[in-house]
Amino acid sequence: MNEKNPGGLEPFEICSIRPPTENSSLTFRLTRNCYWNKCAFCPVYKMGARFSRRSLDEIRRDIDRARQLDDWMLAGGIGMNGYTRADYGKLPGLAEEIRRTGRKAHHEARTQKAAAEIPEDVDPRLAWFISWFNDQPSLEDSLAHLLSWRMAGGETCFLGDADGLILKPEFLATVLGEIKSRFPSLQRFTVYGRTRTAARQRSLADLRSMAAAGLNRVHFGIESGSDQVLAFVNKGECSADHIEGCLKTKEAGLSCSVYIMPGLGGTARSEEHALETARVINAAAPDFVRLRTLEIFPQTPLEQAVKEGSFTECPEEQVVRELRILISRIDAETELLSDSASNLLDLYGKLPHDRSRLLKIIDGYLDLPEQSKRIFSLHARLRSFLGQYGGLPEDLYEILSPYARDGELDMSRCPNDTLEGITRTIRSRLMP
């Protein structure tokens, strides 16, 4: 550490919402929240979070805070011989020492205030989601964020929030330059983007300058290639935006990763959703296609559409049939990933090369008897839950314990509606 900061050290803002590949990245918020915020399925910023751009000074302050906290960790003996999970146990003491030095105890109060801001009448599922959204991190949160990044190798950085491409290229270049000079181990910088911004607001020269400044990859949530589906969910983008935005991004030398949302067409547009999404992927040829199956969150416009009867959720089997159509139709060279807890099947592979292997996985599920499909689904969701949270909360433990035998779950005698109910409860708590 250079010197202990007598003025006190504040936490820096982190991006709670980021791609799964950036879970262990160092993150900085260049904007806050989403200026569009109208997608019918999206619960992310619906609880009153307002979009804002952050000034260069604010961002610089966060970079500086992150640099100093990283130095504090090293000075506190964390990372002297490599970083381990055991180091998490040292963080509360370190945070306390930083507070003592800087007399900044008000951070705890600020964190408590943020948690208390969830209104009491909010649906428990949404409350669960919001509690995970850390808008005002504490010193401990900032330190844990740095430790997780260090443990993962310290090479990746995500710049949030929802659309990094709205930033002027010169602004982004300045930020990237400053981050790189303070964190020289960083090798990869990524942002979320909207295809409409890439297609209509940014020139090819703009995107090239971003790549030249060090940006490596853009993650686009395209969700669907069907213009009807995109209009229904109020995505504010069309398939032409998706194709042009992705092609331009790749031409600028940036890696292009897209998220698609199986199930988003509902029962009415299921097949069209799959066919049109395959069409867009073939035309846009993104480097990565990531699956993120639709989950309908409470208090979203899509949940309202379900209540009104204008949208009917696809059963799981129909979602899998969509995937079958999609994978059968994609001829572009791309990589398919199922890196979201919302997905039922593990579908990872290069397309079109791995098509037959991936179709075998799909057909293996589709050929199962009905009861076995339900049991398969429960186990898949349970694995995701344990992967995400590391254990079961008391209520889920109680629901499942009657079916535990010798440390294994035997659901074969569980009635179908109970099986479905348990699976739904687990799904409702997974972060997509």
Which residues bind to ligand SF4, rule: CB under 6 A?
34, 36-39, 42, 44, 162, 194, 221
Which CB sits closer to ligand SF4, 39 or 358?
39
* Nearest distance from C-beta of residue 165 to ligand SF4, angstroms: 12
In Å, how far from its chain's centre is CA 156?
15
CB 213 within 8 A of CB 173: yes
Which CB sits closer to ligand SF4, 65 or 219?
219
Distance CA 84, CA 13 (A): 23
Which CB sits closer to ligand SF4, 42 or 211?
42
Instruction: Write the burial class of residue 241 (CB in 10 Å: 0-12 exposed, 13-18 middle, 19+ buried).
Output: buried
HSE, CB side, 13 Å, CA atoms: give it for residue 310: 10
Cβ neighbour number for residue 24 with a 10 Å cutoff: 19
* Nearest distance from C-beta of residue 322 to ligand SF4, angstroms: 19
* Nearest distance from C-beta of residue 39 to ligand SF4, angstroms: 3
Which CB sits closer to ligand SF4, 38 or 357?
38
158 has which bridge partners? 27, 190
Peptide bond connecting 161 to the previous residue in cis, omega within 30 degrees of 0: yes
Handedness of CA 405, 408, 410, 411 (dihedral sign): positive
Which CB sits closer to ligand SF4, 23 or 418?
23
Which CB sits closer to ligand SF4, 49 or 285?
49
* Nearest distance from C-beta of residue 292 to ligand SF4, angstroms: 10
CB 333 within 8 A of CB 351: yes
* Nearest distance from C-beta of residue 419 to ligand SF4, angstroms: 31
* Nearest distance from C-beta of residue 306 to ligand SF4, angstroms: 18
Which CB sits closer to ligand SF4, 38 or 168?
38
Which CB sits closer to ligand SF4, 221 or 263?
221
Tokens representing 66 are 């992150």
* Nearest distance from C-beta of residue 91 to ligand SF4, angstroms: 30
SS3 353: coil
Q: What angle do CA 25, 30, 35 make, to 5 degrees?
A: 115
* Nearest distance from C-beta of residue 218 to ligand SF4, angstroms: 13
Provide DSSP, 284-303.
H--SEEEE------TTSHHH
CB 326 within 8 A of CB 352: no
Alpha helices in 197-315 (DSSP H): 204-213, 227-232, 239-251, 270-284, 301-308
